[in-house]
Amino acid sequence: MLTTFLRGILALTLVLGLGVSLAGPASAQDPDQRVWIQIESYPDLATTEQRTRAYAQLLEDVNGFRAGARFYAIALGPYARAEAVTLLGQLRAQGLIPGDSFLQDGQAFTEQFFPVGVNTLAGDSVVTTEGVVASAEDASEELAEEVVDAVAEEVAEEVVEEVTPPEPASLPEETVAEARQSEAQLTREQRDALQIALQYYGFYRGGIDGAFGPGTRAAMSAWQQSRGYEPTGILTTRQRAELLNQRAEELARLGITTVRDDGAGIEIDLPLGMVEFSEYNFPFAQYDSINDSGLQVLLISQPGDRATLFGLYEIMQTLEIVPMQGERERQGDRFLLTGQSATLRSHTEARVVGGAVKGFTLIWGPERDEDVEQILPIMQETISYFDGALDPAFVPEGAGQDIDLVSGFEVRRPEVLRTGFFIDSRGTVLTTTEAVTGPTGQCSRVLIDNAYEADIAYRDDALGIAVLRPRTALAPLDYARMAETPGRVRGEIAVAGFPFNGALSAASTSFGSISALSGVNGETTVQRLDVETADSEAGAPVIDASGAVLGMVLPGMLDGRALPGEVTLALRGDQLLPILQQAGVAPQIATPAGMMNRENLSRLGADIAVRVSCWN
């Protein structure tokens, strides 16, 4: 079995093939400060010497130090801080040093034991990073050809057997007092690492501050108890090694790696053991599943503002990758959108930052729920943004223009789409019962404008009307003023609806006239219109020349027969008034007003008409 060290080297070939830039966080301190890159530390000298010699075979500037009274450290350097920051990112990305390596100012180092006779702690001299980088590049070339052949003969005996980190069980037992003493020797970075590991496993909920206060102590006690240890709230050296090794192995399995996408202007830790970069398809940088993981990641990046953000929010809800059941939250300059079904899960979050809309979507199957419990918090905590956003020209060559696809993802379609219209300032909608029953007689969800969930507040199947109340407070641009009296035969009317199954984003207006104030069979609740309408315009408002709503368009079937194309039936508004009052709606009555031209009627129709859709 390959050691953790060799597994890190093997990861190099994966990194080389990704074509992404990987780096650690930059330091804001003095770029000329003299620092070391600390890569490992152990409580015994023998293990540290073995690890130090093994690293020295592959890297330049390897040093071994005593660190305090009980620990020994392996560090590269010293370098100017600016060079060290760059080198740290390079070596982490190439898998040549552990992912939790960090910069150290050397104050914790008390004595140097490797190389023999050398003391880099004395003086202000620094070395350049060129030798280390060249060495890493040489190792990368060899490993890319054949990792095992390049390493096996030279370090098989020493690295595979001696470089393997000691198992926690091999570390000495400690009393609580000894554990507290060894804990006192930890650096800030090491204390942070423990908090991060406790947070990773769900024991710690506070901030990563390196301060072991009541919250951290409680988390340590909970972790100890979960592993069958005495819950003292102070981890021994053995327990700290066990906790950190477990997290390191878990991160290695998931392949958690920092990805910096300069095109998208996003840096984030991704599970590169489960996904790999596939393509740019605006506004997404797409990472598809590998190793049968079933995971998919989309980095979201596009120029824009809050209006762009809200538009993306609406579009994302129409995609098959976002199941309909889930949390929906849109506020200010951010949104959260989750979806869950029997076969699919997704989590999307995005925000406006620096003149762009950025975020991510994580998609997975229910069999990966446990993995995602670890992956999602890491993505949320590590994502950061910098200048740059994807160009709308980032579309794969040969990508089709299928209207059922958005950025390569299939659009979810409702089972039935009809028209409705606002009848009060709270966003209450009147529509046809076809919109809330669908072909099966039942809808799992009814949406207003494909975005806002609504409840059926009233329904009259005999008349064919339904009253909807949105679950989210809406503020319509306008709403219907109902006429108390019937319209005038041969009087001009306008119908504002959504033909073409709602393909248009706003209602379109058709103009015609009233041909009769009764139905085909003499019904006084119905009027006949001399205007042609589509099936998806059932539920549309009928507006007279003054802007008063005279009624609602009915479906284009009568007793199972299709009506002639130029004939439309509509409920009479004056007959609807008592029924709406019975439904608990207080419609506003139209007052006498002057005539409106067709342009203003079209604008009024677009303001009050909405799409109503049935989803299952």
List, for residues 91-145, the tens digit of each pLDDT value.
Answer: 887 778 887 788 888 887 888 999 988 888 886 567 766 656 555 555 544 443 4
As given in the structure block, the two tokens for residue 284 are 């997404």
Q: Is the peptide bond before 78 cis (omega within 30 degrees of 0)?
A: yes
pLDDT of residue 476: 93
Contact 430, 405 (CB under 8 A): no
Residues near 386 by Cβ (< 8 Å), separated by ≥ 6? 265, 266, 267
Rounded-to-integer distance, Cα 472 and Cα 415, Å: 22
Own/partner long-range contacts of 516-525 (Cβ < 8 Å, ≥24 apart): 516/489, 517/486, 517/487, 517/489, 517/572, 519/569, 520/558, 520/569, 524/572, 524/575, 525/463, 525/571, 525/572, 525/575
Residue 10: per-residue pLDDT = 34
Contacts (Cβ under 8 Å, ≥6 apart) of 495: 509, 510, 511, 512, 529, 531, 533, 537, 540, 541, 542, 543, 553, 568, 605
Q: 347, 304, 345, 303: which is closest to 329 by C-alpha?
A: 347
Residue 544 pairs in a beta bridge with: 493
> Edge-to-edge strands of the sheet including 284-289?
275-281, 284-289, 296-303, 356-364, 345-353, 334-340, 328-331
Distance CA 409, CA 278 (A): 14
The two domains 256-406 and 413-616 share their CATH topology (first three levels equal):
no
Compute the C-alpha angle 122/107/68, nearest 5°: 105
β-bridge partners, 459:
466
pLDDT at res. 12: 31
Q: What is the pLDDT of residue 124?
A: 57
Q: Collect all residues with Cβ–Cβ distance below 8 Å to 501 and sequence separation of at least 6.
A: 417, 536
The first and second tokens of residue 317, run together, are 């809800």
**Who's near 529: CB < 8 A, 6+ residues apart?**
493, 495, 512, 513, 514, 515, 542, 553, 567, 568, 569, 570
C-alpha triplet 354, 360, 363: angle, nearest 5°: 170
Question: Which amino acid, 550?
Answer: L
What is the DSSP annotation of 246-261?
HHHHHHHHHTEEEEEE
Strands 481-482 and 588-589: parallel
The residue ranges of every structural domain in the chain are 4-166, 172-249, 256-406, 413-616
Q: Which of 114, 120, 109, 105 is nearest to 68 (CA)?
A: 109
- CA angle (65, 70, 72) in 5-degree steps: 25
Residues of the chain with pLDDT under 70: 1-29, 69-70, 123-125, 128-170, 394-408, 410-411, 557-563, 565
Which amino acid makes up residue 410?
E
SS3 state at 438:
coil
Cβ atoms of 285 and 264 closer than 8 Å: yes
pLDDT at residue 428, as a whole number: 95
All residues at 6 or more sequence positions from 12 whose CB lies less than 8 Å from its CB, including other chains: 94, 95, 96, 139, 140, 143, 144, 147
Q: Are 233 and 218 in contact (CB under 8 A)?
A: yes
Taking the C-alpha atoms of residue 535 and residue 366, their distance in angstroms, rounded to an integer, is: 38
Beta bridge partners of 513: 492, 530
**CATH of region 256-406, choose from 3.40.190.10, 3.40.1000.10, 3.40.50.720, 3.40.50.12780:** 3.40.1000.10
Integer Cα distance of 365 and 434 in angstroms? 34
For residue 498, what are its two tokens? 């959504």
Element (H, E) at 611: strand 609-615
Of 135, 160, 128, 147, which is closest to residue 57 (Cα–Cα)?
135
Q: Show the tokens assigned to 121.
A: 């702690």
Distance of CA 315 to CAs 14, 55, 395, 423, 434, Å? 34, 51, 17, 26, 25
| Coil, helix or strand at residue 375 | helix
pLDDT of residue 128: 67
pTM as predicted: 0.49
Q: What is the pLDDT of residue 157?
A: 38
Confidence at residue 470, expressed as pLDDT on a 0 to 100 scale: 94
Query: Class of 413-616 per CATH?
Result: mainly beta
